[in-house]
Amino acid sequence: MSGPTVLAFETSCDETGVAVVRGREVLSNVIGSQVDLHARFGGVVPEVAARAHVESIRSLSHRALGEAGVHPDDLDGVAATQGPGLIGPLLVGFSFGKAMAWARQLPFVGVDHMEGHLTAPVLESDFEPPAVALLASGGHSQLVHVKAWGDYEVLGETIDDAAGEAFDKLARYLGLGFPGGPAIDAASDGGDPTALDLPRPLRDRPLDFSFSGLKTAVITRIESAKQAGTLPPLADVAASIQEAIVDSLLEKAFNAIEATGVEVLGGGGGVFANRRLREKFADEADRRGVALHIPSRKLCTDNGAMIGAAGVRLLQDGQYSSWGSNVDVNMRLG
């Protein structure tokens, strides 16, 4: 099964992602990471990110087309992330993509970044609605009822920090650097996830998340352990934090499965690259007989291919963006 061939751009934050997707097949997926550039600041600096996107987007586009073996004349459309994200970075990919589409008189589609994460599983499996999708990234933690493609209802979301933000803030507190999720994931190896007794908040709101209290709880536990001379090893601390975040995500995701009665669970966003999360979701889905669709790790973190996947669907539906369309930093699903 084939489909339209789309060149796709993702520049909502600090990764320059360019991909060529044909139908549900990834022909190329190149990423220019800016991690080293931002690490010394302990987080993403928007203007530094925008400049780095400008510097690399042209050569990454050539690379993506070259690796795919696709000539620009063979393209059926161009897709680019429209929002949500940082205004400067978004403008680079969106303007570049639109200009390229205009120059070649190709259809152009602006894609919601979260719809990109939500659609990513189709690139590797037969993921289809009706489904529940949990999206967990640096800026979002959302449970979405995917009734049909393009028909989304947000069932619940975080009332404060996103799951990735919690990983990032706690890693900073522990001196593990940026980005925090991969650092805590790595530091947790061999650690005891029950070493620190941490809260699993908001049990009375089954479909919403709260992660801001976790930081206070970690600091309180660590300070009192220090005073008592019982400070656990870093691996135990990292494993306990990871377990608390993963347990919350897991519990709420399966609450949504129960609430909707659907039997398909999709996942996406950088936090789904977490090894413990992947293991626990797989076990729970198995136990409950739920079909789980989580992309491979490199398709969980920001990338162009997921924007291509959503772009293909929008193009097939004839949902083009106008030449006058612009980025929307507060874009929302549903």
Q: Does 16 bind ligand KG4 (CB under 6 A)?
A: no
State the DSSP code for 223. H
Binding positions for ligand KG4, 78-137, rule CB under 6 A: 137
Instruction: Compute the distance between CA of residue 311 and CA of residue 119 in angstroms, rounded to an integer.
Output: 10
Subset of residues 176 to 195 that bind ligand KG4, contact rule: CB under 6 A: 179-182, 185
The answer to whether 57 touches 96, Cβ cutoff 8 Å, is yes
Site string for ligand KG4, 132-171 (x = CB under 6 A): -----xxx------------------------x--xx---
152 binds, among ligand KG4, Zn ion, none (CB under 5 to 8 A by kind): none
Pick between residue 34 and residue 274 the one whose CB is nearest to ligand KG4.
Answer: 274
Q: Beta 291-293 vs 264-268: how paired, if at all? A: parallel
Question: Which residue blocks in 191-267 are alpha helix, DSSP H?
Answer: 212-228, 234-260
As a whole number of angstroms, the distance between CA 4 and CA 23 comes to 5
> Which of Zn ion, ligand KG4, none does residue 110 bind (CB under 5 to 8 Å by kind)?
none
Candidate list 14, 168, 208, 302; residue touching Zn ion; CB under 5 A? 302
Going by the DSSP 8-state scheme, the letter that residue 130 receives in this structure is S
Can you tell me which of 11, 56, 81, 137 binds Zn ion, judged by CB under 5 A?
A: 137
301, 305, 312, 313: which one contacts ligand KG4 (CB under 6 A)? 301
Strand order from edge to edge, sheet including 291-293: 151-157, 141-148, 131-136, 264-268, 291-293
Instruction: Kindly list the residues in this chain that would bind ligand KG4 in the complex (CB under 6 A).
Output: 13, 137-139, 164, 167-168, 179-182, 185, 269-271, 273-274, 301-302
